[in-house]
Amino acid sequence: MIHILENKVLSSMLTVLRNENTKSSEFREKLRLAGFFLTYEILNGHNQAEEIKVRTPLILTTGVRINAPILQLVVMRAGMHLAIGGGELMDQLNIPFEIGVVDAKRLEEDAPDLDFDVDITSFKVPSVDKKDIIIYEPMLATGGTITKILTKIYEKGMPLKLIIASIVSAPFGVEKIEKLFPDVHIYTLAFDEQGEFKGLNGDGYIVPGLGDCGDRAFGTY
Ligand code: URA
């Protein structure tokens, strides 16, 4: 299921990320901020919260604490700043969480149907059982990397919920995930459909998109 977070604040942030003139430093900053707000929406929509007692200076009253075990899964390298922003929010709220890191690479540069084969080169992920897993992947393009990661998660155990935090998603990847993993929730700031191939151009880039997210964040373009 896809959740497109549309509001003026998030759209203005996305506009800075889309702008080709945005410098790497500001690009990283906005990715972190986007990760913070995406995680805010995800926690609000998904996590269990328990009622707790809290003493104000005046009286004992009831409050709320988010308490489901959370595992952040960072898809390197583009997902790094998004995950840092999400972690900042959870740290602010004293929500404990674990972090797993995944590295993936495309096996070939050209695939006529854009169905690039992906190799997971590193999967450093703690136990996934009974946890809410938030996968930070800013560009949900072909869905090849994410479907491989989801498969590996299910080989490892049984999470409570699987949620993808993304900046821009294309129908190509979203349709693939919805078909193979219908229970997965996708939170995204934009659903870009202008590319010729279900939102993608012939090289697998999302259109209008924001270009190569990893290169822009790491200053390597
Ligand atoms: N990865 C990116 O960084 N950008 C795209 O448009 C697609 C995949």
- pLDDT tens per residue across span 158-190: 999 999 999 999 999 999 999 999 999 999 999
Which residue of 210, 215, 218, 221 sits with most ligand 1 atoms within 8 Å of its CB, as the best mutation to test the pocket? 210
Buried b / exposed e over 70-101, threshold 16 CB at 10 Å, is: bbbbbbeebbbbbbbbbbebbeeeebebebbb
In a domain, 204, yes or no: yes
Q: Is the pLDDT confidence value at 94 over 80?
A: yes
State the pLDDT at residue 117: 83
Q: Which residue has its alpha carbon closest to ligand 1 atom 4?
A: 212
Q: How large is the C-alpha radius of gyration of the chain? A: 18
Q: State the residue range of the domain holding 29.
A: 2-47+64-218
In a domain, 19, yes or no: yes
In a domain, 193, yes or no: yes
Ligand 1 center from residue 153 Cα (angstroms) = 23
Question: How far out from the chain centre does Cα 92 lie?
Answer: 19
State the pLDDT at residue 108: 67
CATH number for the domain harbouring residue 169: 3.40.50.2020
Number of separate domains in the chain: 1
pLDDT band at 11 (very low <50, low <70, confident <90, very high): very high
Q: Which residue has its alpha carbon closest to ligand 1 atom 7?
A: 205
In a domain, 73, yes or no: yes
Q: Which is nearest to 78 in space by CA: 193, 175, 150, 166? A: 166
In a domain, 59, yes or no: no
pLDDT band at 106 (very low <50, low <70, confident <90, very high): confident
In a domain, 55, yes or no: no
In a domain, 54, yes or no: no
Which numbered atom of ligand 1 lies nearest the CA of 214?
3
Torsion angles phi and psi, residue 103, rounded to 5: -120, 135
In a domain, 173, yes or no: yes
Burial class of residue 195 (count of CB atoms within 10 Å of its CB; 0-12, 13-18, 19+) = buried
